Structure 1
Amino acid sequence: MKVAVIGCTHAGIFSARGILETDPEADVTVFERNKSVSFLSCGIALWVGNHVSDPAKMFYDSVESMEADGIKMKMQHDVIEVDLATKTLTYKNLITDEETTEQYDKIVITTGSKPILPPLPGIDGANIFKCKNWDDATAIKEAAKDAKSAIVIGAGYIGAEIAEQFSVTGVKTTLIDGLNRVLAKNFNKEITDEIEAEYKNHDVTLGLGQMVQSFEQTENGVKVITDKGEYEADIAVLGIGFLPRTDLFTGQVEMIKNGAIIVDKYMQTSVPDVYAAGDSATVFYNPTQQNDYIPLATNAVRQGILVGKNILKPTVEYLGTQSTSAVELYDHAMAASGLNEQLAQARGITDYDTVTIEQDYRPDFMLTTTPVRATLLWDVKTRRVLGGEFYSKHDISQTANALSLAIQNQMTIDELAMSDFLFQPNFSQPINFLGAVAMAAAAK
């Protein structure tokens, strides 16, 4: 069996390795336009802020290791044309410009995503940086060495983290977003209000509710013009978001509106012997029971594993995702799983309710403790848990994982309220805050 894997970040790596585990005799070829594989781009902001011990450790796999395990690695080879019906692809050697066409028995699309780059005047300027791959990371890190000021466009996870790290390393920072709150799609207003106060305490200028109109190169850097003002800095970083990199397959395979390839529970596309995984594909979003687009490394890894397990025949079903995530800004931890009110409304879900509580994470007789704010969202009719979020100076990240399991298993607020959570004064109250917020939901 001859298999082509197009793209090799997270989904591509786990697909290629998984295929060989399922069929050690498979002839697996990976095509990757870049020089490296497995870069953990979520570490870019941490590297900028000097929190990375060794940038080489931001890679968890290597070309050499994959080749040693029997995978043919065509690095710096760009797939420029694909005919999924005939299982034929043409690729270009980016070093020699030589083009080659080959046929495969099965094709795996793990082409990932691309940064959203609106067609704005000046967006390709010399002092404007994308934030996606290793080359982007090294460029930002190098530019940050001498930068005294920076503008970050986009206040989602990526932009929020980059802006925070600039601000704590002495770079005068401006954070711009078209929405009127930082992390507006990720957390409720009570949380984002507090985080915005932290940005201001660290001298970050917030340009929220503003749409960028254009960029201009200046003598010392870059000017960003929005519909409400102008901002100047040495550098600008784009963290606007991502779209699936699937242009090669338009019209050949079923997609949702943004171009993400629709896959079934075995990672199969609408075309026989063609699979897709990671940022190029849809996920099954358990809170809504619908296909969605949620580009997260965790989704890419699990979908890649499933490609390997199902490459010969449908064997292991996808359990879906809750889009579980966390971030730390200015020593405040925020974690979430499933829907919040903004996400629910954006998906047309209105028959829900929410409750928020605040309690110290462990008993007050301890020498130290700190409050945790917990919010839960559920379906009013079925009482099924749909989502929640947590906020504290205490590390509450793993609570989002526990909530994720509750959502995945379609637990009700009543079942979550009566679930068994540990009590030990070093770690928790007699009623853990996850159980407490579920009890508050059930009582409401």
Structure 2
Amino acid sequence: MNVIVIGGVAAGTKTAAKLKRQDRSAKVTVYTKGKDISYAGCGLPYYVGGSIENREELIVNTPEKYAGLTGVEVRTQMEAVGLNAQAKTVSFENGETVSYDKLVIATGAVPFVPDVAGKDLPGVFTMRTPDDAIDLRAYAESNHCRSAVVVGGGFIGLEIAENLLAKGLKVTVVDMANQVMPNLFDVEMAAYIRRQLQSRGIRIITGAGLEEILGNEKAAGIRTSAGNFDGDLVVLAIGVRPATGFLSDSGLLMNRGAIVVDQQQKTNLNDVYAVGDCAQVYNRITGKGQWSAMGSTANITGRCLARNLTGDTAVYKGCLGTGVVKLAGDLNAGRTGLTGEQAKEAGYDVITVTCVTDDKAHYYPDASAFVTKLIAERNTHKLLGIQVVGAGAVDKMVDIAVTGIAMGAAVEDFDTMDFSYAPPFSTAIHPFVQACYILENKLSGAFETFTPDEYASGKAKGYRVIDVHPSAAIPGAEWVNLSKVTAPLEGIDLEEKLLLVCARGKRGYFLQNRLKALGYTNTRVLEGGASINNVKAAFAGGVLPAAEIKRVKGLGCLQDKRYADVFNVRVITRNGKITAGEHRVIAEASERFGSGAVTMTTRLTLEIQGVKYENIQPLIDFLGEHGLSTGGTGSLVRPVVSCKGTTCQYGLADTYGLSEKLHERFYVGYHGVTLPHKFKIAVGGCPNNCVKPDLNDLGIVGQRVPMADFSKCRGCKKCQVEENCPVKVAKVADGKLHIDANACNNCGRCKGKCPFGVLEEYKEGFKIYIGGRWGKKVAHGTPLTKIFDSEEEVLEVVERAILLFRDEGISGERFADTVSRLGFDYVNEKLLSDTIDKAAVLQKTVKGGATC
């Protein structure tokens, strides 16, 4: 038997290897378009991020190694261009035509690249082959890229985004759908994923169709139907299409480019089979055709086909669309089966539940939670699908569901299964089973709820919000102490509509159980509680309590004292520099949610004026969707201020670059670290002090220290250095130039002024001032006794200053007071040479004293 396999990645190599093991006499030849075979396509994003260090780790087998292991002949760089099924031949681009007894088409898929201007610019990438990942990583490193736009919010797009973020790039993900991971996750789960990604630093834009890739000599961002988005590189992760163009006139039956096969991978042509991303398979639940461009499907169907070709019967029973993805930081997501919408479209009477459970024993270190959505058929209770998001092993939740769905299990069938348990791995009742219990309670009517989607669509309108947290946590809601509920709630009628909300939904269910026993007839629990819902409640009489005003102040919203419910909201601009697109977003936000006016603060943040209380959260959400945030209040590191730096004629340092690093490391990175008081940082590009670095808690000033060669001095009567010294510390005396190093402010204005080369060499660096302050009390900072050579040195000293303030500062005192109390010499020594135990300092409990 002469078998030709076209395609040498997952499906092709799996089919060929298994076939050869089944029948050693078979002649099996793999023809592949590329130079590599059997590479780890799913690992490409992790090469970009550096988790996989070198190219060789991506290559599962070389052609030579594979041929030696399997006995399969491999022909690389052979692109198939035609099929003559009647003659049983395949023709290739190099002119060769080969015959077959059996033909396996495993050509996979190719990235979809829309026909837009700029798609061929340097800096535009797809992600399909090892070379794609290698080129992307090399480009990002060699071009010192600091930002990226990823077009496509599916699995690959979000994996690429996570890995680019891990490399220190600012990442924007843009998708034309109205959610991330469309057709994979239901809208409320996608919304939760989106919020989590944004909180970890990835900017998400949905509802934006790609129209153009911007840039002249290289990519500089994209233009979309929703505006322009800047990026030093662009990754197109819009999706893939079956690589079947060369088969268009072959007679093969295809559906949207995917080859239609039966459950044994046969096509409509005799002795022609197809597997992998180029073939359409079946959905195991609905029985309908489905395209499953997954490495798992490719390998499974490839193995089945090899058995079928050698006399066995191996029926492929269909896919479930199973997928799992590692997202930013500690966030993972997985899914299988039908989404709620897909199940409805398939004709099922659908019931769902969304719940939050521990992923392992709550007391075990690194314990977290699963957010789980189960989809089932209402009448039969048959499990149809699952979606899970969390920090833990979401794959184990998904795999249990895969097994159950494949076996046709109802949710009750899992109740007493003996799943593994130990505190590091799971809970005593497995989290999957807990989700089943919750759905069973809903099916029985014991648990009456609003789903997150129902709540977001307004179905809870008219319900009174009851806060069931251990302590009051929902502004405007009435808090109920669960442990004390033994009689009807005072002032609440038995027929009143009550929405019971806690952190996850569990305490809400407990309260509902008690209230039903007490005669309440109209209670609903909000599924997933405040963990995954944006819960709102109206304040009694419309009056905002002091605690709520304090809470929103912490979000960067300062009350307009003329009104009870109007605030001015600070938008962080990182260093006073924002893009034209960000300007437009802020202007639109001001018009939509505020008075239409925007003011500039002395700290170079923007304030949107006149925001009504009920518009604060929608405003914050809108800004977050466009990569902007609010804040700048409290006993924290404040937004960094910088001058124009090297864009100014006096600039000695890249202040914008340094201030952005300071912003990311300390404003963002330390945003959960309370200090004794506010801590302000300013970066000046030269000693002109335009942003007054020495009047901040910590100020950084660019320096150009003259390294004079006085042997070249000729004692000119009219010395050009002396003439041009702005602070008059350069003097010619006794026929020689003298510079008072203690009085020189290292502005660098003397550079190149001496025609005889006395001042040709300079040390570039930074001076750091500590203990400055302005406001009610003014204090000028004192410079540390060292000129710092690099930005990394500066960042290290800034962190040491923050840690020292947290460790040795007193609640309510500014850093200037701390420096004065401890003594400058002591602080100088601590910052320059002494050891500071960062972990111990960050574990301390510190009470902040800032009032604004």
TM-score computed with the length of structure 2 as normaliser: 0.50
Q: Deviations over 1:318-339 (max 9, x none)?
A: 1322222211222112111111
Instruction: Find the aligned partners of 1:275 and 1:139 in 2 and give their Cα distance.
Output: 34
1:134 equivalent in structure 2: 130
* 2:16 counterpart SS class: helix
1:45-97 deviations in whole A, cap 9, x for unaligned?
A: 2111111144312222220123223222110111111112321111134xxxx
Aligned to 1:243: 241
Counterpart Cα distance in 1 of 2:326 and 2:107: 29
CA offset digits 1:137-162 (Å, max 9, x no partner): 11111112121221110010111111
Task: Give the match's secondary structure for 2:13.
Answer: helix
Matched, 1:30 2:30: yes
Report the Cα distance in structure 2 between the residues aligned to 1:239 and 1:275, rounded to whole angstroms.
29
Aligned ranges for residues 178-217 of structure 1 at < 5 Å? 178-217=176-215
Q: What is the aligned partner in structure 1 of residue 153 from structure 2?
A: 155
Q: How far does the alpha carbon of each residue in 1:196-251 deviate from its partner, in whole angstroms, 9 at most, with x for none? A: 23433344332211001122333563331111101222210100001111122235
* Whole-angstrom distance in 2 between the partners of 1:218 and 1:349: 51
Give the letter for the 2:18 counterpart.
Answer: G
Check if 1:61 corresponds to 2:84: no
Q: Distance in 1 between matches of 2:425 and 2:201?
A: 35
Q: CA deviation at 1:254?
A: 4.8
Conserved in 2, the CA contact under 8 Å of 1:376 and 1:387? Answer: yes
5 Å-filtered alignment, 1:292-303, equals 292-303=290-301
The answer to whether residue 68 in structure 2 is matched with residue 70 in structure 1 is no
Equivalences for residues 4-403 of structure 1 within 5 A: 4-68=4-68, 69-93=70-94, 99-145=95-141, 146-219=144-217, 221-313=219-311, 315-329=313-327, 330-344=329-343, 348-366=346-364, 369-403=367-401
**Contact 1:48 / 1:144 at 8 angstroms: preserved in 2?**
no
Paired with 1:379 and 1:272, the residues of 2 have a C-alpha distance of: 40
SS in 2 for 1:77: coil
Structure 1 letter corresponding to 2:423: P
Shift of 1:423: 3.5
Moved more, 151-160 or 39-48: 39-48
How far apart are residue 256 of structure 1 and its match? 4.5
Report 1 or 2 for greater relative contact order, CA contacts < 8 Å, sequence distance ≥ 6. Answer: 1
The more displaced of 226-235 and 9-18 is 226-235
Write the distance in 2 (CA, Å) between the matches of 1:65 and 1:366: 45
Q: Which amino acid aligns with 1:170?
A: G
Q: 1:121, CA displacement in angstroms?
A: 2.3
User: In the aligned structure 2, how far is the partner of 1:216 from the partner of 1:358?
Assistant: 42
- State the Cα deviation string for residues 85-124 of structure 1 (Å, max 9, x = none): 321111134xxxxx11121111000000011122222222
**Distance of 2:272 and 2:55 partners within structure 1:** 35
| Structure 1 runs not aligned, ≥5 long | 94-98
Distance 1:138 1:85, change over 3 A: same
**Distance change (3 Å), C-alpha of 1:37 and 1:438:** same
Moved more, 369-378 or 252-261: 252-261
Equivalents in 1 of 2:113, 2:366: separation in Å? 47
Query: Do 1:173 and 1:204's aligned partners in 2 also have CA atoms closer than 8 Å?
Result: yes
Q: TM-score, normalised by structure 1?
A: 0.93
AA of the residue aligned to 1:415: D
How far has the Cα of 1:129 moved from its partner?
Answer: 0.8
Which amino acid letter does the alignment assign opposite residue 91 of structure 1?
F
**Contact 2:12 2:302 survives alignment (8 Å):** yes
> In the aligned structure 1, how far is the partner of 2:335 from the partner of 2:197?
21
SS of residue paired to 1:261: strand
Which amino acid is the alignment partner of residue 77 of structure 1? M
Task: Check whether the contact 1:372–1:390 (CA below 8 A) recurs between aligned residues.
Answer: yes
Quick one: distance in 1 between partners of 2:259 and 2:311?
20
- CA–CA distance in 2 between the matches of 1:103 and 1:368? 59
Cα distance, 1:418–1:284 mapped onto 2, change above 3 Å:
farther
- Aligned in 2, Cα 1:276/1:367: closer, same or farther, shift over 3 Å? closer
Task: Give the aligned partner of residue 96 of structure 1.
Answer: none
1:413 to 2:414 alignment: no
Residue 362 of structure 1 contacts residue 428 of structure 1 at CA under 8 Å; is this kept in 2?
A: yes
CA distance 1:276–1:196, change in 2 (3 Å): same
Q: Secondary structure at the match of 1:142?
A: helix
Distance (whole Å) between structure 2 residues aligned to residue 367 and residue 103 of structure 1: 61
Change beyond 3 A, Cα 1:139–1:368:
closer
Note the C-alpha offset of 1:315.
Answer: 1.4
**Alignment size in residue pairs:** 438
Q: 1:406 to 1:254 in 2, by over 3 A?
A: farther
**Aligned partner (choices 431, 434, 437) of residue 433 of structure 1:** 431
State how far apart, in whole Å, the 1-side matches of 2:44 and 2:64 are. 24
Whether the aligned pair in 2 keeps the contact of 1:39 and 1:134 (CA below 8 Å) is: yes
Is the contact made by 1:417 and 1:442 (CA closer than 8 Å) also made in structure 2? no
Quote the offset at 1:19 in angstroms.
1.6
Query: Which moves more between the two structures, 26-35 or 362-371?
Result: 362-371
Distance 1:351 1:34, change over 3 A: same
Q: Percent identity?
A: 27
Call closer, same or farther: CA 1:140–1:349 in 2, change over 3 Å: farther
Report the AA paired with residue 335 of structure 2.
Answer: A
- Post-superposition offset of 1:4: 0.8
- SS state at 1:378 partner: strand
Are the counterparts in 2 of residues 262 and 281 from structure 1 also a CA contact under 8 Å?
yes
User: Aligned partners of 1:359 and 1:223: how far apart in 2?
Assistant: 40
Kindly provide the CA deviation profile for residues 372-415 of structure 1, in whole angstroms up to 9, marking residues without a partner as x.
22211112243221110222222222221111111111111221
Deviation at 1:261, TM superposition (A): 1.0
Aligned counterparts of 1:341 and 1:55: Cα–Cα separation in 2: 40
Is the 1:211–1:227 contact (alpha carbons within 8 Å) kept by the matching residues of 2? yes
2:807 maps to what in 1? none
Instruction: Label 1:148 to 1:254 Cα distance change in 2 as closer, same or farther (>3 A).
Output: same
In structure 2, what is the Cα distance between the partners aligned to 1:172 and 1:365? Answer: 35
